[in-house]
Chains A and B, each alone.
Chain A
């Protein structure tokens, strides 16, 4: 079946450090890929997305590139802030209006 594997946390970084959270997927078709962020006590917010190979999603300084050859969608940010502390989920969807398949999430803590 379809699945998402992302690096386990927790990840602790100092402010202004570089961030990479790895995400790889297994899918029978050509999925759309997503990163969601969950701040403490809140629901999930869509951070960025990519719908086809080589697409780059970006938002709030975060980026991820859809790599079909390596089935990956790694999340990157050049300089993290304390306010980026949250849990980050990688997810895929095979087609529109189908359930999302999530990774287990990676908890990021950024310290000043």
Chain B
């Protein structure tokens, strides 16, 4: 029973490039959340998605950041024209559709470094 998968685990981008982070939720989960962790900080919510829908993007920066969760395939967090301040660990979590809907299971994260 595979957990939440994220890839790549480490990503290095130069300023101005695009970063694409992928997340496959646990089997049977259709709710996906993205969080960002800055060095020595807690996790900050970015966006909550269900299949083909963005439910809550109140934590997403207004520019350069976008997220999707298509009907088929993983959820994608895209950062265009990356800047040094985007360097962080990005975590994806998924939760069940019902029952223990409040439990979120986290992936190992993608550590983005912008040079």
Q: Are B103 and A46 in contact (CB under 8 A)?
A: yes
Q: Which residues of A contact B42 (CB under 8 A)?
A: 89, 102-105
Give how many A-B residue pairs fall within 8 Å (CB-CB): 62
Q: Are A43 and B45 in contact (CB under 8 A)?
A: no
Q: Are B95 and A97 in contact (CB under 8 A)?
A: yes
Q: Are B101 and A43 in contact (CB under 8 A)?
A: no
Interface SS, A side: loop
Q: Which residues of B contact A49 (CB under 8 A)?
A: 102-103
Number of B residues contacting the other chain (C-beta, 8 Å)? 27
Q: Which residues of A contact B104 (CB under 8 A)?
A: 46, 93, 100
Q: Which residues of B contact A45 (CB under 8 A)?
A: 106
Q: Smallest CB-CB separation from B100: which chain A residue? A: A96
B105 at the interface (CB under 8 A from A): yes
Least distance between B45 CB and chain A CB atoms (Å): 4
Q: Which residues of B contact A89 (CB under 8 A)?
A: 42-43
Q: Which residues of A contact B109 (CB under 8 A)?
A: 42-43
Given contacts A97-B95, A99-B33, 19 further A-B contacts (CB under 8 A): A42-B108, A43-B107, A46-B103, A49-B102, A51-B102, A89-B42, A89-B43, A93-B104, A95-B102, A96-B95, A97-B101, A98-B48, A99-B35, A99-B59, A100-B35, A100-B43, A102-B43, A103-B42, A104-B42
